[in-house]
Structure 1
Amino acid sequence: MNKTKKAIFQAAIKVFSMAGYNGATMDDIALNAGVAKGTLYYHFKSKEEIFNYIITEGMTVMTEEVDSAASKEQDVLMKLKTMCRVQLKLVYENKDFFKVIMSQLWGQELRQLELRKVIGNYICAIEKYLKEAMEHGIVRKGDTSFMAYTLFGTLCSAAVYELINSENTDVDQLIDNLMSYVLNGISEK
């Protein structure tokens, strides 16, 4: 991503996060990016195109970072933990980006449908870690697609928990607890 597009990317996340999609304007994005409105339109034809760009780019970065960190692990359980740790770390470091994602997941507008498609692609990446864990007997056999969506939702919920309780949360302990609950359930057994 070139310097101008990076500035637009960062500014758009900030503007969408603060004003919401409907409240954001091309003028606000250009102003926050420090570019002329003509420059903004040179790179993007519309607000929706900018939105789709930031979602696609942001989720691509997240997938690449998760895959890069997890691929360094030999142990299948550590791959799952690493995937969780990296995703949560990215949520904390990019709160505005995830605020934009969470605010636009529901609805039937084209951008919302596109966002769900991009999220679905990321969840497919989670699914491959779960399939590998099943093959090694770490996770019981089942519907990996549903498990991947459930794990993604659980990670999002853990991020909300940490954001609300950030003053007394140890992220490593949070991840260990999360993995324990995911792998062992919450029942007393």
Structure 2
Amino acid sequence: MNKSQLEILEAAADCFANYGADAVSIDDIARHLHATKGRIYHHFRSKSELLCAVRMRSVSLMFDQIAPIVDSIDDPLEAMKKMAFTHVQLILGHHSFHRVVSEDFRVFFNRSTTPDERRQIQEIIDKRTAYENLFREVLRKGMKSGVFAERPISLTVHSLITLLNSPSIWYSPRPNQTQDDRDVIARDLAQMALGALGVKDA
């Protein structure tokens, strides 16, 4: 993805997150970007395609950062600590993208009927499932070794990710907020998540 496409996605994510996908038009995104509609249509054929790209960008950012942690850290507790912390960092650092993903997109996409739109939606679902499977892998290992409490895997994964995703709803970026400030939020929330897994003094 080139610089121009990323700039368009960032502008679209801001608009979708602030006003809702249904209320936002390509004209709105172009004004936010201080560009013409033609620049957007050069890269994205429709608002639906643009919204799909924003959602895929959000999930891909997560997957690309978390997958190497799973591959490189064998200890399930240490892996989960870093996964939870990194997940929240990404939520805070790319808030608009993840705010869009946190909202239920089925209502918007129920109007999508073209094969290409259905393909894009399925790609997002598949990527999100692959991301959840990274957590499943570490949770299974941790439950087997006794590090985490034995609980149904799917229930645990969905509850854990919902907790880690919560800043997408309540967090509001502030101009004077530093990376250290965001790291404190990420550490605290990661510790809460580990506590929910049955880890004491995480």
Question: Alignment RMSD, CA only?
Answer: 3.1
Listed as ranges, the matches of 1:1-189 within 5 Å are 1-102=1-102, 104-105=103-104, 107-110=106-109, 114=121, 117=125, 118-157=127-166, 159=167, 163=171, 170-171=184-185, 172-184=187-199
**TM-score, structure 2 as length reference:** 0.74
Is residue 70–residue 82 contact of structure 1 (8 Å, CA) maintained in 2? Answer: no
**TM-score, structure 1 as length reference:** 0.79
Deviation string, structure 1 residues 4-30 (Cα, Å, up to 9, x no partner): 111111111111122211121111222
Q: More displaced, 3-12 or 60-69?
A: 60-69
Gaps of 5+ in 2: 112-117
Structure-2 separation of matches of 1:161 and 1:15: 15
Is residue 30–residue 40 contact of structure 2 (8 Å, CA) maintained in 1? Answer: yes
Deviation at residue 153 of structure 1 after TM alignment: 1.4
Deviation string, structure 1 residues 157-184 (Cα, Å, up to 9, x no partner): 4x379838x98x9432442233123225
Gaps of 5+ in 1: none
3-state SS of paired residue (1:62): helix
Match of 2:115 in 1: none
Deviation at residue 49 of structure 1 after TM alignment: 0.6
Structure 1 segments, 4+ long, off by >6 Å, are none
Identity fraction in percent: 20
More RCO (CA 8 Å, sep 6+):
2
Deviation at residue 70 of structure 1 after TM alignment: 4.2
Deviation string, structure 1 residues 87-142 (Cα, Å, up to 9, x no partner): 1111111222222222x316444279939825444322221221222333323444
Matched residues, number: 181
Structure-1 separation of matches of 2:132 and 2:72: 20
Structure-2 separation of matches of 1:79 and 1:111: 37
3-state SS of paired residue (1:183): coil
